Amino acid sequence: MKSYSKYIWFNTKKKQEFINITPEVEIALRESRIKEGLCLVNAMHITASVFINDDEQGLHRDFELWLDNLVPSSVRYKHNLTGEDNARAHLKRTILGRGVVVAVTQGRLDFGPWEQIFYGEFDGQRRKRVLIKIVGD
């Protein structure tokens, strides 16, 4: 069994941002030389997500508005009493998820027609990491 690890860094301009990281994951997969196995991609910070969906700007705006609604700004979050201001980012990341596991088949990400991998930042404007871990043969 082979394994390969790669860390990619982000420092988004906006507090909240969705970035298509499929090309970076494909590069890591080629570097790994793994042909059959599993590829884990996860945020290493607890106010960010890695998720799979469509690369469509309108849908991403729908995600943002929907999450704003599901995690209301009107609540007085206890986490923010510790001096933090990112309680909502923790909850929003919970909805989109910490990470994804993708099958690797014949040296490629085994994806359906519209699947793309996104980094979802909810508390940006500082350096944060994503881990790509590929195991297989």
Chain contacts with a copy of itself (rule: CB under 8 A): 1, 3, 5, 36-38, 40, 42-46, 51-54, 56-59, 61-63, 65-66, 70-71, 75, 77-82, 87, 90-91, 94-103, 105, 110-115, 129, 131, 133, 135-137
Q: C-beta of 18: minimal distance to a copy of itself in Å?
A: 13
CB nearer to a copy of itself: give 15 or 61. Answer: 61
CB nearer to a copy of itself: give 94 or 125. Answer: 94
CB nearer to a copy of itself: give 2 or 30. Answer: 2
Q: Return the closest-CA partner of residue 45 out of 121, 100, 116, 117.
A: 121
Q: C-beta of 120: minimal distance to a copy of itself in Å?
A: 11
Q: C-beta of 37: minimal distance to a copy of itself in Å?
A: 6
3-state secondary structure the chain: CEEEEEEEEECCCCCCEEEECHHHHHHHHHHHCCCCEEEEEEECCCCEEEEEECCCHHHHHHHHHHHHHHCCCCCCCHHHHHCCCCHHHHHHHHHHCCEEEEEEECCEECCCCCCEEEEEECCCCCCEEEEEEEEEC
CB nearer to a copy of itself: give 19 or 97. Answer: 97
